[in-house]
Structure 1
Amino acid sequence: MAFFPRPALTLAALFLALATVLAAGSAHAETRTLKLYYIHTKERAEITFKKDGRYIQSGLNELNRFLRDWRRNEPTKMDPRLFDLVWEAYQRVRGRDYIHVVSAYRSPATNTMLRGRSKGVAQNSQHTLGRAMDFYIPGVRLADLRNAGLVMGGGGVGYYPTSGAPFVHLDVGNVRHWPRMNRQELVSVFPNGGTLHVPSDGKPLPNYEQALAAYKSKGRTGATISVASSSGSSGTRTPGRGLLATLFGGGADEEEESGSEFQTVATASARDAGAAPAVRRTAP
């Protein structure tokens, strides 16, 4: 059995503590920017929405406008957690190109119109709540983007590889995915079985309970949103529903539409010759 003098143990503990603090500080100090291209409006922008762990109100406002209901030119107040989710997915898949947005906010009027055309449109879609985005990233396999969404466990993950413009749906509602993967497919993403996602046979993977406990523990620290003000101070905003209510709530969280809304955009892509030039918006 190895023996270490007490000073050596103390020094090792200090180094470990310092490494932990530095890692946490680095994550807290990062700047988050989304590179977006909206295939319907042909707008491009690079919008910084978070810096030093705080949301930037001007960036949030710009994202609200950019991700508006393009049919009615109507914006809403999007859920900032969605921006974090999309940003994290982009990092996981090592994206380089612009995020090609197929759909984001959808007004209730637009949703009603679409429901009149197709049974596949959810009545209480997360899109109408400003909590969902449908998108793809050129150069990134759609399955890899779907898997990144599953691993993050931040909400709903929809997979539409055969849509006119193939895309993945991410939202910050209940943790679920569609179409349901079979057990073998889901295990390939979660080899240790630690996930809240349930395969098509309806039976949770082995470490479902541990994943649930971890999700609950995160919920106790994620109840507020910090927004940086122009004076440098911060304010907090509490979401309308707690994290556990979001997970177990139901109601406005059924699986989203079949993708029929997007059949008309099959040719919309980064190759559009008339795309608007990129506009970079950074933190003040």
Structure 2
Amino acid sequence: MRRRFLLLAATAPAVLVAPGLAHAAARRRASPPLAQRRLALRHAATGSRFDGPYHNGVEFDAGAMRELSIVLADTRTGTVHPFDPKAIDILWELGMRERMEAFTVLSGYRTPATNAAVHGAGDSQHLRAAALDVQIPKARLAAFGDAARGLGRGGVGSYPDHGFVHVDSGPVRSWGFDRAVAAPRAPARTPEQIRLDRMAEAWAQTRRR
């Protein structure tokens, strides 16, 4: 009898612990792994780069956000302002939707003096480090702008003549989408060029007789 008691005592912990371990393992299998959010971008004016995760799937990485703020600093003064994570998230989501792995940024944070120098709006979202002017290849610019508007998150401006799209985390609005790109004008001819063209045409007429 004693041997039987010892055997039961030895096996009891396994019986009690095993169900808990099984449930924990089942929960781990049921929960999808946390998806990191990664971003690769370069500032066209300074050449500064960021390439890596900035969000671990639960929260923003404070160190990565500091690095991004440095990359997106004011280009005239080097002033760094903490960049709005919501604006970074908008760019990341657009990259996922449009299958773009890297971005070139023309403008991020601007000081009031820089904003005035580039004739930015007085209430520009660049002033609060919440806007990005992103260079987009001409063939993809319209689709990228439409995708940005489709998010319904913040402001979107299309600048096809300059090859970039503005995105920000401010109020939902858009501009620049109902304007056709102006066809390039032929350079004006000088009086001397007109005279030479007439002479060439007159010479051609004599050759055809």
The reply to whether TM is greater than 0.5 is yes
Contact kept, 8 Å, 1:67 with 1:105, in 2: the verdict is: yes
Map of 2:13 onto structure 1: none
Does residue 35 (structure 1) correspond to residue 40 (structure 2)? The answer is yes
Contact kept, 8 Å, 1:82 with 1:131, in 2: the verdict is: yes
Distance 1:61 1:73 in 2: 14
Map of 1:129 onto structure 2: 128
Distance 2:137 2:50 in 1: 16
Matched AA of 2:114: T
Which of these residues, 73, 77, 80, is aligned with residue 68 of structure 1? 73
Distance 1:124 1:134 in 2: 16
Does residue 177 (structure 1) correspond to residue 174 (structure 2)? The answer is yes
Does residue 49 (structure 1) correspond to residue 46 (structure 2)? The answer is no
Distance 2:37 2:139 in 1: 20
Contact kept, 8 Å, 1:93 with 1:140, in 2: the verdict is: no
Contact kept, 8 Å, 2:84 with 2:130, in 1: the verdict is: yes
What secondary structure does 2:118 align onto? Answer: helix
Map of 1:167 onto structure 2: 164
Map of 1:4 onto structure 2: none
Residue 150 of structure 1 and its aligned partner are, at CA, apart by 0.8
What secondary structure does 2:126 align onto? Answer: helix
TM-score (norm 1): 0.50
Distance 2:84 2:37 in 1: 15
Higher relative contact order (CA 8 A, sep 6+): 1
Distance 2:160 2:57 in 1: 36
Contact kept, 8 Å, 2:156 with 2:166, in 1: the verdict is: yes
Does residue 59 (structure 1) correspond to residue 56 (structure 2)? The answer is no
Map of 1:95 onto structure 2: 100
Residue 123 of structure 1 and its aligned partner are, at CA, apart by 0.7
What secondary structure does 2:79 align onto? Answer: coil
Map of 1:81 onto structure 2: 86
Distance 1:113 1:132 in 2: 17
Contact kept, 8 Å, 1:47 with 1:62, in 2: the verdict is: no
What secondary structure does 1:54 align onto? Answer: coil
Identical pairs, percent: 34
Structure number, greater radius of gyration? 2
Map of 1:110 onto structure 2: 114
Residue 37 of structure 1 and its aligned partner are, at CA, apart by 1.3
Question: CA-atom RMSD, angstroms?
Answer: 2.1
Q: 1:174 to 1:94 in 2, by over 3 A?
A: same
Distance 2:147 2:53 in 1: 22
Q: 1:162 to 1:138 in 2, by over 3 A?
A: closer
List runs of 5+ in structure 2 lacking aligned partners.
1-26, 180-209
Matched AA of 1:95: M
Q: 1:127 to 1:90 in 2, by over 3 A?
A: same
The residue correspondences of 1:254-273 to structure 2 (distance < 5 A) are: none
TM-score (norm 2): 0.67
Matched AA of 1:173: G
Bigger proportion of residues as helix: 2
List runs of 5+ in structure 1 lacking aligned partners.
1-17, 116-120, 183-284
